[in-house]
């Protein structure tokens, strides 16, 4: 019989996650292009949209485990900046499908390069294998949390997808 994690290991993980979130925020603020006038959360949503492909607001909200109104506000900010566009869904014109514009993809690429440069500097003593292993473990961890937070059948599937 497999036992689940102990109270002590969960507390240790929660402590490390809290620190990780603080460090992630500090890293984001260090590499954030202030001249854009956008909140980092909006760019994180843009990254999600580019990764998943054309989506509805409700699909993005479900995947991010937030209320659709939060996503709508961020999408409006991205639209005003010319980074996201919407079009009517072919089968239901009442529904809007969102996608990143070329300018959105370019901004995201610039931001991602800044983040990668920072990460490469910070993890200079790590092997690529160690970083890949950590990324895989983090992916498994986030999927387990997502499943626990939303025990519904599956993530929303966007109409097109690309791994960017």
3-state helix, strand, coil in the chain (%, to 5): 65, 5, 30
Fold (topology level) of 37-149:
Arc Repressor Mutant, subunit A (1.10.10)
Q: Are 85 and 79 in contact (CB under 8 A)?
A: yes
The encoded tokens of residue 94 equal 């009442």
Residue 153: per-residue pLDDT: 47
Domain range annotation of the chain? 37-149
Residue 89: per-residue pLDDT: 86
Residue 164: per-residue pLDDT: 40
> Which residue ranges in the chain fall short of pLDDT 70?
33-36, 151-164
Residue 14: per-residue pLDDT: 94
């Amino acid at each position: 019989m497999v036992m689940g994690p102990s109270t002590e290991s969960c507390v240790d993980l929660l402590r490390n996650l809290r620190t990780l979130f603080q460090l992630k925020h500090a890293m984001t603020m260090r590499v954030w292009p202030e001249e854009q006038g956008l909140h980092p959360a909006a760019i994180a949503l843009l990254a999600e949209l580019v990764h998943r492909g054309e989506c509805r607001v409700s699909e993005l909200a479900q995947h991010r485990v937030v209320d659709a109104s939060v996503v709508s506000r961020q999408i409006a900010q991205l639209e005003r900046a010319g980074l996201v566009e919407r079009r009517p869904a072919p089968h239901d014109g009442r529904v809007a499908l969102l996608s990143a514009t070329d300018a959105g993809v370019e901004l995201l690429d610039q931001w991602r390069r800044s983040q990668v440069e920072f990460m490469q500097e910070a993890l200079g003593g790590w092997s690529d294998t160690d970083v890949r292993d950590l990324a895989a473990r983090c992916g498994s961890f986030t999927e387990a949390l997502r499943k626990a937070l939303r025990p519904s059948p599956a993530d929303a599937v966007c109409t097109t997808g690309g791994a960017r």
